[in-house]
């Protein structure tokens, strides 16, 4: 079941051409998921990812990534997708909010418990493009799905989320996958402050531990993604959450690589945070 917020800011015939550069990064993630889903031993199956790439007229990757940075980003995207899949289902919340959902199809591909509501928030054009592709495929969500076009840097989205049926008095699960790195530190802090105000005690939040993006090696073929990185809260992300009412746990990319027998292409400092909202003092 899909309900949708106002799409008045979406073009009538959405195409990938109408996407802002930051929203086009969702296509890069879809390409990673399409490639992983085509492997004989995938860590997840996203049966819709290839259709997004095709609709955007992007060539599907026939072979694996070539450069060191591309290999690292693909390994990161694959292991992160699987980690968040597992942890969102384990959270056991019947309200799930996908911040900057992009072309994430978890509402359609994960085995959600009956009664789960999934809210997807992102900029209008990318959600319109996504709906067009999913509708053409006849994709059926496996949860009660609500699509909310929203700029997460604007102050109005929390009220719209509540208007759409989200209940801030009950525990929820939140995902901010591949988002904070595109924000300035103060923007990331404001967004996490808004999330905290909606997250009842026991709610869970999943996101990347930030890194020093200035240390990223340059690869011209990936500049359309990496040039947009502003770092978010960087390596201070976990400390920020710990200081703002969350209890955090860190899982390193290296640990996930060992868990899934997927050796990393090189040393990595990447890690993922699972934060649980503490009761108010």
Separation of alpha carbons 64 and 142, rounded Å: 30
> 101: closest CA among 87, 116, 121, 82?
121
Structure tokens at 42: 């995938």
Separation of alpha carbons 280 and 64, rounded Å: 47
Contact status: 209 vs ligand SAM (CB under 6 A): no
Query: Please, which residue, 53 or 179, has the CB nearer to ligand SAM?
Result: 179
Contact status: 45 vs ligand SAM (CB under 6 A): no
User: 97: burial class by Cβ within 10 Å (0-12, 13-18, 19+)?
Assistant: buried
Q: Cβ of residue 47: shortest distance to ligand SAM, in angstroms?
A: 15
Which residue of 5, 14, 16, 26 would you call a contact of ligand SAM, by CB under 6 A?
A: 26
Find the residue with minimal CB distance to ligand SAM: 102
Query: Please, which residue, 70 or 202, has the CB nearer to ligand SAM?
Result: 70
Separation of alpha carbons 129 and 159, rounded Å: 24
Of 66-74, 87-95, 96-104, 249-257, the segment contacting ligand SAM by CB under 6 A is 96-104
Binding residues for ligand SAM, total number by CB under 6 A: 20
CB 7 within 8 A of CB 124: yes
Query: Please, which residue, 58 or 202, has the CB nearer to ligand SAM?
Result: 58
CB 68 within 8 A of CB 265: yes
Residues 133-162 contacting ligand SAM, CB under 6 A: 151-153
Which runs of E-coded beta strand occur in the chain?
2-4, 95-99, 117-122, 144-149, 173-176, 204-209, 246-252, 271-277
Q: How many helices (H) and strands (E) does the chain have?
A: 10, 8
Contact status: 126 vs ligand SAM (CB under 6 A): yes
Which residue of 10, 14, 16, 29 would you call a contact of ligand SAM, by CB under 6 A?
A: 29
Q: Cβ of residue 216: shortest distance to ligand SAM, in angstroms?
A: 15
Residues 102-121 contacting ligand SAM, CB under 6 A: 102-104
| Cβ partners under 8 Å of residue 148, min gap 6 | 4, 5, 119, 120, 121, 127, 157, 160, 161, 164
Site string for ligand SAM, 218-257 (x = CB under 6 A): ----------------------------------------
> 196: closest CA among 188, 64, 62?
188
Contact status: 22 vs ligand SAM (CB under 6 A): yes
Query: Please, which residue, 79 or 101, has the CB nearer to ligand SAM?
Result: 101
Q: Which residues bind ligand SAM (CB under 6 A)?
A: 22-23, 25-26, 29, 100-104, 122-123, 126, 151-153, 177-179, 182
């Amino acid at each position: 079941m899909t309900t949708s917020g106002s799409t008045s800011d979406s073009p009538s015939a959405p195409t990938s051409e109408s996407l802002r550069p930051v929203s086009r990064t969702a296509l890069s993630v879809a390409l990673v998921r399409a490639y992983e889903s085509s492997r004989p031993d995938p860590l997840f199956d996203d049966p819709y990812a290839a259709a997004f790439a095709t609709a955007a007229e992007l060539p599907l990757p026939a072979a694996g990534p070539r450069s060191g940075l591309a290999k690292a980003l693909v390994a990161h995207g694959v292991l992160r997708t699987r980690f968040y899949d597992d942890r969102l289902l384990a959270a056991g919340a019947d309200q799930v909010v996908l911040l900057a959902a992009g072309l994430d199809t978890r509402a359609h591909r994960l085995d959600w418990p009956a009664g789960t509501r999934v809210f997807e928030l992102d900029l209008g054009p990318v959600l319109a493009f996504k709906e067009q592709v999913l509708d053409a495929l006849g994709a059926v969500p496996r949860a009660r799905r609500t699509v909310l076009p929203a700029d997460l840097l604007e102050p109005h989205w929390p009220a719209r989320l509540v208007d759409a049926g989200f209940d801030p008095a009950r525990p929820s699960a939140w995902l901010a996958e591949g988002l904070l790195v595109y924000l300035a530190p103060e923007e990331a802090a404001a967004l996490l402050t808004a999330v905290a105000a909606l997250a009842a005690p026991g709610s869970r939040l999943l996101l990347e531990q930030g890194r020093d993006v200035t240390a990223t090696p340059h690869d011209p073929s990936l500049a359309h993604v990496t040039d947009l990185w502003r770092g978010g809260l960087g390596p201070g992300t976990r400390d920020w959450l710990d200081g703002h009412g969350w209890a955090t746990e860190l899982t390193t990319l290296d640990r996930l690589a060992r868990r899934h027998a997927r050796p990393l292409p090189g040393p990595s400092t990447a890690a993922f945070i699972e934060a649980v909202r503490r009761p108010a003092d």
